[in-house]
Structure 1
């Protein structure tokens, strides 16, 4: 499972941490990657490999993670879902054929980006996700509706119709995110 969270403190407002825990055969694999979106220089991260180019899309972020970067710098003003989509592409090996997984990560990324405080999403291989934090399904639905122009959200990887998004409040601080409608590839 892949966990992605934000800190939302004055010092790290746009730092997203991607943590994973593999429970498949073989030795246990865990770790953390940082996707850093603040303008200006990156603070020193002793022992971590910082990517030099600034990534502008989910595919560029995923490429840098795949090349072994521990810290990836991103350009301001990009798709707010890109770090979550990139983490899924990198961790699970998704391609454009994995439209359901990419769409699920897109919605989870948009929901995560809209939260004002510390928050976390969990993403499974098939794109199912949950959002944990000080959240309600109604508030997340309103945040998503603001981002879906014309009832759709388009990324270079996939187009997601808002009517396909299902949110359910599983606990006071946990929302399950699911998609129900067929998805189309982005054009």
Structure 2
């Protein structure tokens, strides 16, 4: 199964980090590893052996372009859309383009849900944009945090516009929320 797993960890001593783990379930060589996408608001730790760049991506497409360059550590610019690191990881991992509106919309919702959580969490995203959120979460709390981000019932990025009414959350386990979109975004 080809899936992308992305997690955050937060503490008073660290910057906010998204770690993008991946595996390729397709034919041929299996690749595993980690890519780090940092917010630029704090000091960065020493990361010997990892390739990093000095440029910060201002959105999902710029962050993905930096990942495509082979960087292991990428920076998200201040004020960047909170979903951009997750959408960028999906663009990089799956090769999504602007034509993949359903997948981009699903990753946008997953990224917003992940960014809104106060503690460590992870999302798993499939090629079609379906996702799940794992952590200390309930469907009701995730819905409330998402609603705060949807101005006028919609969330707009340069890639997609997602209507809140299309977001379906299901409590799959005590600490796992399924996220699907009923209708595609545009």
SS at match of 1:54: strand
User: Deviations along 1:23-70, whole A, 9 cap, x unmatched?
Assistant: 221122111000010425432210001111111111110000000010
Structure 2 Cα separation of the partners of residues 31 and 75 of structure 1: 24
Q: Which residue of 2 aligns with 1:123?
A: 125
Q: TM-score, normalised by structure 2?
A: 0.96
Q: Which residue of 2 aligns with 1:62?
A: 64
SS at match of 2:180: strand
Structure 1 Cα separation of the partners of residues 165 and 66 of structure 2: 33
RMSD of equivalent CA atoms:
1.0
SS at match of 1:44: coil
Structure 2 Cα separation of the partners of residues 37 and 84 of structure 1: 13
Q: TM-score, normalised by structure 1?
A: 0.95
Superposed counterparts of 1:104-115, under 5 Å: 104-115=106-117
Q: Structure 1 residue 109: deviation in Å?
A: 0.2
Structure 1 Cα separation of the partners of residues 107 and 144 of structure 2: 18
**Structure 2, unpaired ranges of 5+:** none
- The number of residue pairs the alignment matches comes to 184
Q: Which residue of 1 aligns with 2:165?
A: 163
Single out whichever of 37-46 and 174-183 deviates more from structure 2.
37-46
SS at match of 2:44: coil
